[in-house]
Structure 1
Amino acid sequence: MPLAVLASGIAALSLQVVLVFLATFLLLADFNKKIRPRNFPPGPMCLPFLGNFSSFSLSFQFSKKYGNVFSVLVGSMCFVVVSGLQLVKEALVHQGENFVDRPTSPVSAEIFGSFGLVFSNGLSWKQQRRFALSTLRNFGLGKRSLEERIWEETCYLNEAIEAEKGQPFDPQFQIHNAVSNITFGDRFDYHNSRFHKLLHLLDEACHFQGNLWSMVGLLWLKSFVREIIEKHKEDWNPSEPRDFIDAYLNEMAKEDAPSSFHEENLLQSTLDLFFAGTETTSATLHWALLYMAIYPDIQAKVQAEIDSVIGQSRQPAMDDRGGMPYTNAVVHEIQRISNILPSNVPRVTTKDTILAGFHIPKVNMKKIHHSSLPSIFL
């Protein structure tokens, strides 16, 4: 055999050996990373490198098998999924400080950064949250002024529904539009095609979290909110703040304003409030309509109580709540059984924590993408 041919064969064999060795090494390393530590929540077997990514949407079935606390792996990240009223209350209320931080990922960092009310951590989060709560209260959250805005928008919504002249139609975008008008403060006409596109993208972003299309929708939404902020700057009057954006601009203009009050935090906080206030309320109303259609006997009892207490000549008010126990119970039941969001916003552990007897270790935020088993609470 010529030496050149022999050398070529040895080189090819060596390349195959190297590739097999490398593949074996990577598989063993990945397997080692995915070994659950002692007393960690159980979960399904996962694929190499991908983890449980393809079956993440099957969390409901997993809870039947593993209980109300289980873990799934998505890539190199481990999610601990908690369900059930008592355990969720234990995690979010009784041990809330242990799960107060948010995780970061390349995608979320690119779109949201570490700003706003949802994806920020530490002092910045506390400052933004405190300001948002006080500002929303000042602008009528829980007050009669907000109730009056709801009355006004309800009239527009009723007109839009009546325009369908009793024919079957999908009320999704009319409801979404109405809720958005109350959340944003500015009114967008129900036939505004650009705003309808925005609402459609918002809906996609909510129901397909992590999907590439949802990321495109969020970027488009971010651009839309940025335009609204720029318009606010043009006619901003510090002595007469109209909404959250104006109040935030006032805060930014103060000489002693904390360093966390800047335009990126304004943009993301506005986006967070819009998303939280619009999507959740709209989804609740959609579920309410569905349940009223499915259970006409309950619908009839609710209507009878409304007619008895409110009548047909005026708008309902929060003061009527005490005299409408059945309607109040139905509203709460709709909120209880409705699936408003596919999943909650992720959180991470700030200290070693015991939940339902399982050990969930503290997450090192600086090494969250590199640790052998980062623990993320969902």
Structure 2
Amino acid sequence: MVSLKCRSLMPVAGAEAQLAVAGLAAVLLAFLLVRQLVKQRRPPGFPPGPSPIPVIGNIFSLATEPHVFLKKQSEVHGRIFSLDLGGIMTVVLNGYDCVKECLYHQSDKFADRPSLPLFKKMTKMGGLLNCKYGKGWFEQRKLACNSFRYYGSSQKLFEKRITEECMFFVDAIDKHKGKAFNPKHLVTNAVSNITNLVIFGHRFAYDDCNFQHMIELFSENVELAVSGWALLYNAFPWIEYLPFGKHQKLFRNAAEVYDFLWKVINTYSQDRVPRVPRHYVDAYLDELEQNRGNPNSSFSFENLIYSVGELIIAGTETTTNTLRWAVLYMAMYPNIQERVHKEIDSVLSNGRPPSMEDKHRMPYVEAVLHEILRFCNIVPLGIFRATSQDATVSGYTIPKGTMVITNLYSVHFDEKYWTDPGVFSPERFLDSSGNFVRREAFLPFSLGKRHCVGEQLARMEMFLFFTTLMQRFHLHFPSGTVPTVTPKLGMTLQPKPYSICAVRRQ
């Protein structure tokens, strides 16, 4: 009898346990929901913005053409407004005046990086680009700036090395004998080799499969880093434990790239002589040795790998996409291409290769490159920033640690500073006498403390690669085809794959 009675109680006890677990789960879910909704409340004095969806906020508003969406929202909510990215309160800056006020006049206050779960996962907030604003960032940036100056743009010898790479580049194009090909592979390899010379003192052959694979992973991660999955991961880091999602691909790519970079760093530092650096890696290892035992030093093998990866991405993606857009637009506007050819021919007599000394005598070439940078908006939202201290802008209060998006697209399409900004027109960078004119609201390399480290080198590359290419070839699309100019979205705006015919000029 006792045994039977116990058996009858077992289902009841099991049901009670299930109810208790369900109740606990419901309480936990309610707690998390309330906590999320509290995070989504705008602080006092915070800029207004579009109404968020509960829990996920405005994340899905950034799924397609976020730069265009943000500019349109500025017409409703003002040049400075806020977004809720799943509980991450964010301020968006639009238009040249607003961006200049924050990044230039309050440069220190807008020089930090947000402590996003994605940044923490990928670089532990170390390296160079994602490093928090402070002593570590100053150390890393100073070394990078000196390296790009000493081993790059300030050396006449380095200009010669860029010219040599230009020859490898056009000779590789020549092999297609005027037939259609996709220029992405050759442009990417040529441009990345300039950065490689600064970082490793070495270039990679265009058929180096290992390096080519690494560049492809970099390019893929540039797209994945601003995908919907990446934004969701920042808002809800627990999705890391889901076995699916593009964020998992992002992490796998990064791990593979870091392994490859470690091998390359070891290879090109083997013959190193301490305190006689030949390139960035040597200089970094010198700093690491000199600061060994210093617990406050930011120099480490881990940060070296992160910094090298970031410099390769930054040095390759922007210039590569600028040149790919340039090729596309030259074929799309034959009249502009013809004028470029005439100016190059008038300056470079007897087919001699271009040099930086020729730049001031080619105002139209300069105007074309500047208009491509403006019109195509290679990095439309820059790299996300954060406030390093409380800031006040246009009467609004922005607390310390707030994420900040600088909409550089809105700067380059600011009707206050650009007439007909939606029209591709190199002439806007020329005066009535045909001389090149700098324009104030032109910020492709951003502004302030976090402006692009390799700006001068990038400008050298763009001019020398573009003029060498246009000196030798006439560009046109294969018969019956006209590529789309709608960009492929990511951290950078790049052209969708297209084919071009490069016919040797006589």
Shorter chain as normaliser: what TM range?
0.7 to 0.9
1:376 aligns with 2:403: yes
Which residue matches 1:173?
185
Which residue matches 1:64?
72
1:284 aligns with 2:322: yes
Give a deviation string over 1:231-259, Cα, whole Å, max 9, x none: 12322123653211112222333368962
1:179–1:326: structure 2 CA closer, same or farther, 3 Å change rule?
same
| Counterpart Cα distance in 2 of 1:72 and 1:184 | 38
Instruction: Indicate the SS of the match to 1:238.
Output: coil
Which residue matches 1:303?
341
1:11–1:116: structure 2 CA closer, same or farther, 3 Å change rule?
closer
**Which stretch has the larger CA shift, 67-76 or 148-157?**
67-76
Is 2:269–2:281's contact at 8 Å kept on the other side of the alignment? no
| Counterpart Cα distance in 2 of 1:241 and 1:7 | 73
Give a deviation string over 1:298-325, Cα, whole Å, max 9, x none: 1111111001111352111111111111
| Counterpart Cα distance in 1 of 2:223 and 2:266 | 29
Instruction: Indicate the SS of the match to 1:82.
Output: strand
Instruction: Indicate the SS of the match to 2:148.
Output: helix
| Backbone CA RMSD of aligned residues | 2.8
Is 1:27–1:48's contact at 8 Å kept on the other side of the alignment? no
Is 1:293–1:299's contact at 8 Å kept on the other side of the alignment? yes
Query: How far does residue 13 in structure 1 lie from its aligned partner after superposition?
Result: 8.4
Summarize the alignment of residues 1-378 of structure 1 with structure 2, pairs less than 5 Å apart. Answer: 26-58=32-64, 59=66, 60-65=68-73, 66-121=77-132, 122-185=134-197, 186-209=202-225, 210=230, 211-212=246-247, 213-238=249-274, 240-254=276-290, 259-311=297-349, 313-341=351-379, 343-363=381-401, 375-378=402-405
| Counterpart Cα distance in 1 of 2:28 and 2:196 | 55
| Counterpart Cα distance in 2 of 1:108 and 1:255 | 25
1:276–1:17: structure 2 CA closer, same or farther, 3 Å change rule?
closer
Query: How far does residue 271 in structure 1 lie from its aligned partner after superposition?
Result: 1.8
Instruction: Indicate the SS of the match to 1:41.
Output: coil
Instruction: Indicate the SS of the match to 1:301.
Output: helix
1:351–1:149: structure 2 CA closer, same or farther, 3 Å change rule?
same
Query: How far does residue 200 in structure 1 lie from its aligned partner after superposition?
Result: 1.1
| Counterpart Cα distance in 1 of 2:395 and 2:350 | 54
Instruction: Indicate the SS of the match to 1:140.
Output: helix
Instruction: Indicate the SS of the match to 1:233.
Output: coil
| Counterpart Cα distance in 1 of 2:307 and 2:14 | 63
| Counterpart Cα distance in 2 of 1:332 and 1:298 | 14
Structure 2: gaps spanning 5 or more residues = 1-7, 231-245, 406-506
Q: Residue 61 of structure 1 aligns to which amino acid in structure 2?
A: F
1:13–1:248: structure 2 CA closer, same or farther, 3 Å change rule?
closer
1:19–1:184: structure 2 CA closer, same or farther, 3 Å change rule?
closer
Q: Residue 267 of structure 1 aligns to which amino acid in structure 2?
A: I
Query: How far does residue 164 in structure 1 lie from its aligned partner after superposition?
Result: 1.2
**Which stretch has the larger CA shift, 220-229 or 70-79?**
70-79
| Counterpart Cα distance in 2 of 1:215 and 1:7 | 44
1:240–1:70: structure 2 CA closer, same or farther, 3 Å change rule?
same
| Counterpart Cα distance in 1 of 2:21 and 2:94 | 49
Is 2:80–2:91's contact at 8 Å kept on the other side of the alignment? yes
Query: How far does residue 172 in structure 1 lie from its aligned partner after superposition?
Result: 0.6
Equivalent pairs counted in the alignment come to 365
| Counterpart Cα distance in 2 of 1:227 and 1:182 | 20
Query: How far does residue 11 in structure 1 lie from its aligned partner after superposition?
Result: 9.0
**Which stretch has the larger CA shift, 302-311 or 351-360?**
351-360
| Counterpart Cα distance in 1 of 2:292 and 2:92 | 42
Query: How far does residue 338 in structure 1 lie from its aligned partner after superposition?
Result: 1.7
1:274–1:16: structure 2 CA closer, same or farther, 3 Å change rule?
closer
Give a deviation string over 1:244-293, Cα, whole Å, max 9, x none: 11122223333689622222222222222211111111111111112212
TM-score, length basis structure 1: 0.87
**Identity percentage over the alignment?**
38
Q: Residue 163 of structure 1 aligns to which amino acid in structure 2?
A: K
Query: How far does residue 350 in structure 1 lie from its aligned partner after superposition?
Result: 1.7
Is 2:275–2:283's contact at 8 Å kept on the other side of the alignment? no
Query: How far does residue 75 in structure 1 lie from its aligned partner after superposition?
Result: 2.6
Q: Residue 148 of structure 2 aligns to which amino acid in structure 1?
A: L
| Counterpart Cα distance in 1 of 2:115 and 2:377 | 25
| Counterpart Cα distance in 2 of 1:335 and 1:62 | 20
TM-score, length basis structure 2: 0.66
| Counterpart Cα distance in 1 of 2:129 and 2:350 | 41
| Counterpart Cα distance in 2 of 1:111 and 1:308 | 49
| Counterpart Cα distance in 2 of 1:283 and 1:199 | 13
